[in-house]
Structure 1
């Protein structure tokens, strides 16, 4: 598939922002953890309330002790101070245990959901998202969503409970002091956070986008470091990376500046509330209408709320950051399935030990983000125990045919028939499990030779693995490996040559023993004699009624095939036996 600016523009239109409020949708996904989160919220509120109560009770105790009463009249307050002092730490510890357990479970569920969705829609559903961007959405963005719970909603819940309780206490002691505290709290926990959210929304969106672009640039630069150095273009890439770092630093400075303003304002407002409460209470104390010991309570309690109100500012920033992350995560979860199961997909795929008859009847298909079909009106038949050679130049639509057969791409017209039945009535994964596949871009895992092949059939023993390798022309190479089948391949199979890699992937497909074998240019990167031998082996297979489709541009391969289908410009241009 060729990606053009028009393709990118149409794909961006298809990947519209998630519908509904992103945070509410994320919260809906946390439903299994609501009980733990509510428990954590209550524990956090009680811990903050204990800190405020400790300050208020200590202020009362000190003031009352200054009047030299009998010690027994202070015992309840003394015990209360000790209780609140101990409770604050214990409750905060329990809150941390509960909230982090819930948050980690939510993160686990989100990451599993993202990977599951990617496995369902890839590769056709994600032609324009880079691997580094998807990695960032799966790791960094999900971590940012964790802050929605730990630094966002739970502190807000605790602040609402504690500030409401403190305001109620002030109204009981002195209504005018209660009004002063209420006004300052409204400014500190409502107006300032709203300002922070509005200011931070654009900042976090820019930061998330810049981070994705920077990660992609770093990944591409590392992958292409040899070419960049040879072409003298490394400096250009490094300059671009510095620009991304400058934008990241700018976003960080803006966050820090706004957070500092919010925190300073919150502290100032609580100081103002303390002064206002003193001004309101002093005349009442002088007139004998308010006990003098309560003056210390209304004066010092607002200062105990500083930690609570500053946490609200931090929570506002966390909400802005989590919103930007939620939009990116939901974009993955909302990616439409290019091969959705039919509404009639209720029938299990019946067993057939004699092989499968696969037919494409007048199939047309196009890749997401394009406005024309990549293949049009393609018909071919894969019969058990026969081989078919699909010939054509690059860009003729051969790989698109494979994508349709593998269930990665939904036909825009025509049908796929399996043993005489419409394949759309079966689950796509069941259909996919009929196909063994090898291609030039198949992945080599950073594990041993044997484990690389066993991804196709986990129950295969070493004898079967070695047999598949010999069949793929790797018997002699296997004998040279220092640890045999246990030899490690390294990242992306870096320790082996292109030809060895291609044959290793072919051996994996051969080991799968599936009814249909789809081979996409399996002789790439190998010498002519080896290529000819591999093609003859594939096209001559009759194992258990297996049907073989060899996709190639080599004219010499046609002679060994039972059926030859030629393609050009996305259509079948010739058909022979």
Structure 2
């Protein structure tokens, strides 16, 4: 799909609002031009001191044009911005859906700065494309044509002079602006994204950067990219300034040209002297059409490039399952003879893996780093579609199930589960938005975090900070576990919940996890071999394949001897 078709698809529901805004804008500018032309005629005619009755129509017209200009301009802004905000909302939702379909595997090497630039800067650029580029250009074409025809009817030469001036101001000025700022405009959005990345890294990793003495280097890198962005912004502003200068010069020459042809026409008797003021003053209002065009040209180029980047989000790989609409029935999650490959990988990360997670059954998956443990979780959760074999829930392939229903039944708790910079209560409510305080405390009790929360001055309303910096590693994992338990899923997939924890904390958390999940179908991916004796089965992965599996009593002793999981 081309970028133009993509934009038309997004904007089509608001087409009538955009057309109405263009019509209202043309009427508002027509009132401004009518006001100036009528005022010129009225002043010239009044100087001849005719009976007041001869001036009545012009007086009423001046009042009507003056009032109409403000009222209609307000209506145009109201309708135009309403349409633009609706398109902006639809664009943001579409960008989010494209990212959501690609996440997590399909995002690949896409930088967080690029994603942020798309969701904020590019989406807003589409709004500017409509309000500050498309509408001004459409209004200029409609009203400019009508004004040239009007003056041409009074004096053909005057119409040609105005046409020439408007073409210079409407075409040469934007062209000169883009010529000066074109390269800067092409590099502006990537430069913003390039600055966003190190700023985000600095804000999120400030403690580590300071600890290792790397903060000055990070600040220097930000300063360098900021200087680059500032330089590009200045070039862009210089282009806009050049466009304004060309437009101003065109206006001056047009007024002089109108006077020259008008005076000659009056001398030759082709034009009434009273109408000479109309020829001279009309361009002053008509050139209001062109004053916004240099900036409109920049917003047009910037907006079209933003549309290109937003449309490109549709081209991201979609490695996750293509969901259907069947309701979930049954509670057994099965992967049968499956191969799975991450986008860009030359070989499957998972090969011929079979696993059946029935209600109440608890299975541990262990293996060295790179063995395919997280890939198995991604495949079971539908984040990564298998290229061979199948994944079913209740005997139905994931691709036929309704995703929302499946997500309510199968919950993933990963080692890097995101905790939001808000309260403990709000972080828990992600798992179950309508949970009562009693249900929240019960989930915390199962995760062995209730006593700690009760000791906090604000209790459930204690804030955790960005990336949960106010919590210890064990507290973060317990809070993530409590959120998963609060969702009350039929199946719980735990991906390395004890990673990055010290041995005593990891051992304690493992015991609490096994206690909290008793009776619930659970898959525990872990690099620890201790504390797994009460599980139903242990599966050892190696190089993406099942190397051994069986009861913990049969597998754990030999696994500890070989230590495949302690990489």
Q: Is TM > 0.5 for Structure 1 vs Structure 2?
A: yes
Counterpart for residue 404 of structure 1: 379
Deviation at 1:407, TM superposition (A): 1.0
When residues 120 and 531 of structure 1 are mapped into structure 2, their CA distance, relative to the original with a 3 A threshold, is same
Counterpart for residue 461 of structure 2: 486
When residues 513 and 525 of structure 1 are mapped into structure 2, their CA distance, relative to the original with a 3 A threshold, is same
Deviation at 1:539, TM superposition (A): 4.4
Q: What does residue range 170-569 of structure 1 map to in structure 2 within 5 Å?
A: 170-197=151-178, 200-341=181-322, 345-350=324-329, 352=330, 356-526=331-501, 528=503, 531-536=506-511, 538-539=513-514, 546-569=520-543
Q: Give yes or no for contact 2:351–2:545 (8 Å, CA) kept in 1.
A: yes
Corresponding residue pairs, total:
551
When residues 233 and 541 of structure 1 are mapped into structure 2, their CA distance, relative to the original with a 3 A threshold, is closer
When residues 541 and 64 of structure 1 are mapped into structure 2, their CA distance, relative to the original with a 3 A threshold, is closer
Deviation at 1:474, TM superposition (A): 2.0
State which of 145, 150, 156 in structure 1 corresponds to 2:126. 145
Q: Give yes or no for contact 2:365–2:539 (8 Å, CA) kept in 1.
A: yes
Q: Give yes or no for contact 2:328–2:394 (8 Å, CA) kept in 1.
A: no
When residues 475 and 235 of structure 1 are mapped into structure 2, their CA distance, relative to the original with a 3 A threshold, is closer
* Cα deviations by residue, 1:422-464 (Å, 9 ceiling, x for unpaired): 3322234433332122121001123332332232123332333
Deviation at 1:404, TM superposition (A): 1.0
Question: What is the CA–CA distance in structure 1 between the aligned matches of 2:492 and 2:163, rounded to whole Å?
Answer: 73
| Residue 79 of structure 2 is aligned to residue 104 of structure 1 | no
Q: Give yes or no for contact 1:341–1:427 (8 Å, CA) kept in 2.
A: no
Question: What is the CA–CA distance in structure 2 between the aligned matches of 1:571 and 1:151, rounded to whole Å?
Answer: 57
Deviation at 1:340, TM superposition (A): 4.5
Q: Give yes or no for contact 1:184–1:269 (8 Å, CA) kept in 2.
A: yes
Q: Give yes or no for contact 1:389–1:557 (8 Å, CA) kept in 2.
A: no
Instruction: Give the SS at the match of 1:390.
Output: strand
Q: Report the more deviating stretch, 48-57 or 473-482.
A: 473-482
Deviation at 1:250, TM superposition (A): 1.7
Q: Give yes or no for contact 1:499–1:524 (8 Å, CA) kept in 2.
A: no
Q: Report the more deviating stretch, 230-239 or 163-172.
A: 230-239
When residues 525 and 227 of structure 1 are mapped into structure 2, their CA distance, relative to the original with a 3 A threshold, is closer
Q: Give yes or no for contact 1:541–1:548 (8 Å, CA) kept in 2.
A: no
Q: Give yes or no for contact 2:113–2:197 (8 Å, CA) kept in 1.
A: yes
When residues 307 and 431 of structure 1 are mapped into structure 2, their CA distance, relative to the original with a 3 A threshold, is same
Deviation at 1:519, TM superposition (A): 1.0
Counterpart for residue 2 of structure 2: 20
* Cα deviations by residue, 1:116-144 (Å, 9 ceiling, x for unpaired): 33333321222323334322321222222
Q: What does residue range 147-162 of structure 1 map to in structure 2 within 5 Å?
A: 147-162=128-143
Instruction: Give the SS at the match of 1:376.
Output: strand
State which of 77, 95, 113 in structure 1 corresponds to 2:58. 77
Question: What is the CA–CA distance in structure 1 between the aligned matches of 2:219 and 2:463, rounded to whole Å?
Answer: 33
Q: What does residue range 19-98 of structure 1 map to in structure 2 within 5 Å?
A: 19-22=1-4, 24-98=5-79
Counterpart for residue 554 of structure 2: none
Instruction: Give the SS at the match of 2:292.
Output: helix
CA RMSD, aligned part only?
A: 2.3
Q: Give yes or no for contact 1:30–1:106 (8 Å, CA) kept in 2.
A: yes
Q: Give yes or no for contact 2:129–2:300 (8 Å, CA) kept in 1.
A: yes
Instruction: Give the SS at the match of 1:513.
Output: coil
Deviation at 1:542, TM superposition (A): 7.0
When residues 70 and 541 of structure 1 are mapped into structure 2, their CA distance, relative to the original with a 3 A threshold, is closer
* Cα deviations by residue, 1:3-30 (Å, 9 ceiling, x for unpaired): xxxxxxxxxxxxxxxx4134x5224312
Q: Give yes or no for contact 1:395–1:569 (8 Å, CA) kept in 2.
A: yes
Question: What is the CA–CA distance in structure 2 between the aligned matches of 1:249 and 1:347, rounded to whole Å?
Answer: 53
When residues 224 and 423 of structure 1 are mapped into structure 2, their CA distance, relative to the original with a 3 A threshold, is closer
Question: What is the CA–CA distance in structure 2 between the aligned matches of 1:437 and 1:62, rounded to whole Å?
Answer: 78
Q: Give yes or no for contact 1:469–1:504 (8 Å, CA) kept in 2.
A: yes
Deviation at 1:334, TM superposition (A): 4.4
Instruction: Give the SS at the match of 1:535.
Output: helix
Q: Report the more deviating stretch, 78-87 or 430-439.
A: 430-439
Instruction: Give the SS at the match of 2:304.
Output: helix
Question: What is the CA–CA distance in structure 2 between the aligned matches of 1:525 and 1:310, rounded to whole Å?
Answer: 60
Instruction: Give the SS at the match of 2:392.
Output: strand
Question: What is the CA–CA distance in structure 1 between the aligned matches of 2:242 and 2:458, rounded to whole Å?
Answer: 62
* Cα deviations by residue, 1:37-58 (Å, 9 ceiling, x for unpaired): 2222211111111111111111
* Cα deviations by residue, 1:367-406 (Å, 9 ceiling, x for unpaired): 2233332222222221221111101112211011111111
